[in-house]
Amino acid sequence: MTNFSYSGVQAGKKVTGEISASDLKAASAKLREKKIIVTSIAKSNEKSQKNSKTELKEIPISTAPIIFAGGQIYLNFGRWATVPPKELLQFTKKTATMIKAGLPILESISMIRDQTVHMKMKMTAHTIVRDLNSGVNLTEAFSKHPTVFDNIFLNMISAGEASGKLDEFLVKLVELLEKNSKIKAGIKSALFYPVMLLTVATTITVFMLWKVVPVFEKMYAAMGVKLPAATLIIVDASKFIADGGNILKILLTFFTIKFIYNFLFKNVESFRHFMHKKFLKFPLFGDLIVKATISRMCMIMANLTRAGVSIIDTLRIAKSVTTNLVFIYALERISKQIVTGQTLSDLLIKEEHIFPPALAQLTAVGEKTGNMEEMFTAIARYYEEEFDGVVAALSSIIEPIMIVLIGGIIGMLMIALYMPIFSIGNAVG
C-alpha cells in the first residue's frame, strides 16, 4: 500500500489529508466514496514534485481576433467574446470524463485549458484553475463567469460539490446541454425550410417584376393591346419595384418597424409578455415552444430533486430554462402558492392554460409514489419525444404547402402576363 497526499472539497469545504491505497486510481476511488472532490493528489514523497508540475503557465491574453503564440493559433473576439454552446458542451463533457476516470478537478481543467483553442473558454478555464489553486471552492470559481455558466449550470455544480458526486452531476449537465442543443437544432431545422422557400419565392417574384414584366409591357404597348385588370396590377407592381425611391421607402419602413419592435420588446415588459403569448398561439410552432420548454424544465427539476434541493428553489431555478414570460410568470405564481401546502400537481392544473393537462397528471403520479426524480425524468423524455414528433410533422406539412405557394405565385404571374395574348387569340378567332 502507498500513502497519497490529497487536497479536495467535501460538503463545500476544503479538506487535506493522506490516504493509503494500492495505486492512484484506487486512492481517487476511495476519496470519491467519502464524497471528497479531489483537486490534487500525489504520492506523499512526490508531493513537492507534483506541485511543481501543476504550476500555472501564463496564456496569451489579447483583444486581437486571432492570436499566434507558442506555435499555436488562438481564436479570440475581444472583450465581447462569448462561448458558443458547442464549446461549453465540450468543456463539460471533457471535465466529466476526466473526473469520472479519477483525475483531480484541478488537473482536469488544466488539461482542458491547454487543449482549448477558443480564447474565451481558455481564459475562463485558466481563471478557474487559478482560483482553485488559491483555495476558492468550485462553485465560487465557476460563478465568477456568469456569461459562460448560467444559473442552471452553477446550481448543478453546487449540488455536485455539496453531495460529493460532482462526476454524476457533470454527466447530467452534459445530457442537459446535449438535449438543449438538440432542441435548438430541431427548432432551426423546422424554421429553415419555410424561410428558405419564402426567400426563394420572394427573389423569383422580384426578379420577374423587375426584369421580365417590363419586356412584356413594351411588347404589348407596341401592339396597342388593351391590358386586362390582372396584367395592369402586375405592370403597376413592376413600375413600383423599378423605382429606387419606393424600394428605399420600403426598407426605411421595415427597419423603422423593426427598431420600434426591438425597443418595445427589450424595454417594455408588458409588450414582451403580450408577444410571448402570441408566440405560443402560433399553429404548430407554439406547440413546439411549449414541448421544448417543458422537456428542459422537467430535466432540470429531476436533477435538482435528486440533489435534495427544495421544491421552492427547484421552481426558482427552473425558470432559467426559458425567457418566455408566460412560463416565468406561471412558475412564479406556483412558487408563491406552493408554500401554502398545495401539491405541485394541483397548482399545475390551475395553470392548465399554459401547461398541458398531461404534465399535471404525470406529476400527480410521482407525488403519490414518492419518486419525483424518476417521474420528472420520464416527463422530460415524454415531451422530448412529443417535440420530435412536432418537428417531423412541421417538416412534412410545410414542404408541400411551400411548394404549392411558390408554384401558385409564379403561376399567377405567368397567367397575368399571357392574358393579353389569349385575348388577341380570342379576338382573331
* pLDDT (0 to 100) of residue 52: 37
Q: Sign (positive/negative) of CA torsion 198, 203, 204, 210? A: positive
* pLDDT (0 to 100) of residue 66: 66
227 close to 235: Cβ distance less than 8 angstroms: yes
Cα–Cα dist 187/391, whole Å: 7
Alpha-carbon separation of residue 132 from 14, 110, 172 (angstroms): 10, 11, 23
Domains delineated in the chain: 1-53 (no CATH), 57-149 (1.20.81.30), 150-429 (no CATH)
Cα–Cα dist 109/126, whole Å: 8
* pLDDT (0 to 100) of residue 270: 93
Alpha-carbon separation of residue 267 from 168, 331, 409 (angstroms): 40, 22, 39
* pLDDT (0 to 100) of residue 69: 57
* pLDDT (0 to 100) of residue 48: 39
Say which amino acid occupies 318. A
Cα–Cα dist 237/232, whole Å: 8
* pLDDT, one tens digit for every residue, the chain (429 residues): 677 777 776 666 677 777 777 677 777 777 777 767 777 777 766 543 344 344 445 555 555 666 665 566 656 655 556 788 888 999 999 999 988 888 888 888 988 988 887 888 888 898 898 888 887 888 889 999 888 898 888 888 887 887 777 888 888 889 888 888 887 887 777 778 778 878 888 888 888 888 888 888 888 787 777 778 888 888 888 888 888 788 899 889 999 999 999 999 999 999 999 999 999 988 878 888 898 889 888 988 888 887 777 888 888 888 888 889 999 999 999 999 988 888 999 999 998 888 988 899 989 998 888 888 888 889 988 888 888 888 777 777 777 887 888 888 888 888 888 887 776 655 444
Cα–Cα dist 377/295, whole Å: 9
Report the Cα–Cα distance between both ends of the chain, in Å, rounded. Answer: 109
* pLDDT (0 to 100) of residue 47: 44
85 close to 181: Cβ distance less than 8 angstroms: yes
Alpha-carbon separation of residue 45 from 4, 15, 30, 267 (angstroms): 8, 19, 20, 61
pTM: 0.68
